[in-house]
A and B are shown apart, each in its own frame.
Chain A
């Protein structure tokens, strides 16, 4: 008994247990830790930060606003400006090339189903939003991923930022987005961008870091310059991982569509939101189904882009 006790009484354990004993003693004396701490006005700081950005970075935001507006306009033209037959057959063609007639048939049935539910136009707006958001995310995310894999400083700087972007509840982005970009599609896309970029960065980085050391050495041994190395070794070899990032980015963009509708983004999300707020369950379910279907279409297409290339 004494021996067993002796085994547990040592310096480390005493150090570990002493704060607990102290805390019990203090609380017996009526001390409350939480009440006795000073108040730290982080929320005021948040307000101040947003205000500061609004006044000082206005031109930057205007530029971003213009850029996304242009891109979105173009995308909307692509999806809504065309007759449904054209859009459906283009998707079917892509589906056939990447995977075969099965995917092609799935796309046809899904789109017909959506059209018959009466959501064709909303669906195409959602498509335009998702594609716009995904493109901006990927255009920023993939180069950042490359940078992060190659530059230690970038790695150190970006890591906490990416963690922040990914874990902060997405609703939190909505308020400042409205602040900077007003109400409508643009702030929706901005919030989506913040939320959907990290996987593109992370998976690009992972793909590059996963390149077998010997293959990297082979590239260098044959005298490849840094640019040749990136284009002929690193990017092609990390393509499966990068494509997974593309897939994840698109999926996350879709999940932001409904949330984005809260600040005025149009499309299927708006329909779902309407269903929720007016307690029209049927409408919500139908529009939700539409989102699920285009999610499946985009998922299957992006998953097949690179897989196809590797196996044949």
Chain B
């Protein structure tokens, strides 16, 4: 089934219906009846319908939705903690919903590490006992378990706590134990079910940062469930939004979703997101419109300004950005026949990856668009003030 070698998880036409008689509710779910109508008719709950997506190897894929949307259910369909009603779930080449019980156990033991919202630690075990739980299930000998467990504990920064009881730890530390338990088995896939939702805001931010740092080294395939769009944007390479009917309404990168919300549901969803803090200059910049070599003549530049209806121009030297010039200066230069170079004003530039929020002070201070340069200092584009205005306005 695997068309793309980079695909790690693939879900096709997945339906999940809770209740005593899913077969009765399934046709209604396919017809598109609402959850409440289906519930009234059949007493079953249509949790997920017609879900299709692929997760690439090494990416953090966020499942995002309000509570009750079915996002956690979907996560549990991947390792078959829930059996799906219809459809297919693939991990690599393996069809998860076609496995025997024994095969399924083996798959869970080696491929999946799971992290839970309320940590789900074993209260009767120490930190080490919890971290090595998965290894114990695999049947590894004691010595190997201790070694791998210790590595995982170091990885999450809990060295020195391995003999503590988990019940005496803070929430953040407990979730580190949860993460270490998942990492100890060195799984290919991490399933994270709202892992940071139960933590204090400060601790949450820190855990997000550390997860991203770890991920840079580990390159696991991560399926991350959250109801917090800001979190989704921060950690997710791609985000899938599930609406309250259990339908996946949009999948894409954060900026894609913010700039082009496909449905009203998504629009409402993203309305309170800090868009200027997410959208990067790279995404909204235009090609540099009036950029000239410093060796051009003033008249050349003036003509260009007139064509583009601007009163300034950017200057480059061997493609490297050197600054800007104003139209009145160019007029003066043309009259007095002086080189353009004498009139160059310094202009602050922006990096590719800076967000709108980062360059806002520059925009307010200057009359120019903001020139965008790459790592070598080459001018690659400009962010125009009217684009920024649009994004700021839409945000309100």
Contact = CB atoms under 8 A, between A and B. Distances in A.
Pairing of A with B: yes
Interface of A: 212, 214-215, 217-218, 220-225, 228, 232-233, 236-237, 239, 309-310
Contacts of B116: 214, 217-218
A225 B191 contact: no
A236 B107 CA distance: 25
Contacts of B181: 222
B122 A223 contact: no
Interface string B104-116: 1111111011101
Interface stretch (B87-95, B132-140, B148-156, B338-346): B132-140
B136 A232 contact: yes
A233 to B, nearest CB: 7
Contact of B133 (A222, A225, A309): A222
A228 B139 CA distance: 10
B124 A309 contact: yes
B120 A222 contact: no
Going nearest first, the 8 A-B pairs with the smallest beta carbon separation are: A223-B109, A223-B108, A214-B120, A221-B114, A218-B120, A222-B134, A223-B105, A236-B124
A interface, over-half SS: helix
24 contacts: A212-B120, A214-B117, A214-B119, A215-B120, A215-B121, A217-B114, A217-B120, A218-B114, A218-B120, A218-B121, A222-B108, A222-B109, A222-B113, A222-B137, A223-B106, A223-B112, A223-B134, A223-B137, A224-B105, A224-B137, A228-B137, A232-B133, A236-B124, A310-B124
A223 B81 contact: no
Contact of A222 (B104, B118, B185): B185
A239 B124 contact: yes
B79 interface: yes
A236 B122 contact: yes
Given A214-B116, A214-B118, A310-B124, A221 B81 contact: yes
B157 interface: no
A233 B137 CA distance: 11
Contacts of B108: 220-223
B377 interface: no
Interface in B72-112: 76, 79, 81, 104-110, 112
Nearest to B76: A217
Residue of A217, A225, A236 contacting most chain B CB atoms (<10 Å): A217
Given A214-B119, A223-B134, 6 more contacts: A214-B118, A215-B121, A217-B114, A222-B113, A223-B112, A232-B136
B123 interface: yes
A218 B106 CA distance: 15
A17 to B, nearest CB: 35
A241 B70 CA distance: 34
Nearest to A222: B134
A215 B133 contact: no
Nearest to A228: B137
A233 B134 CA distance: 12
Which of A212, A224, A239, A310: most chain B CB closer than 10 A?
A: A224
B74 to A, nearest CB: 14
Contacts of A228: 137
A191 to B, nearest CB: 36
Contacts of A214: 116-120
B114 A237 contact: no
B89 to A, nearest CB: 15
Given A214-B116, A232-B136, A223 B124 contact: no
Contact of A221 (B110, B112, B118, B122): B112
A237 B123 contact: yes
Interface in B183-232: 185, 191
A217 B124 contact: no
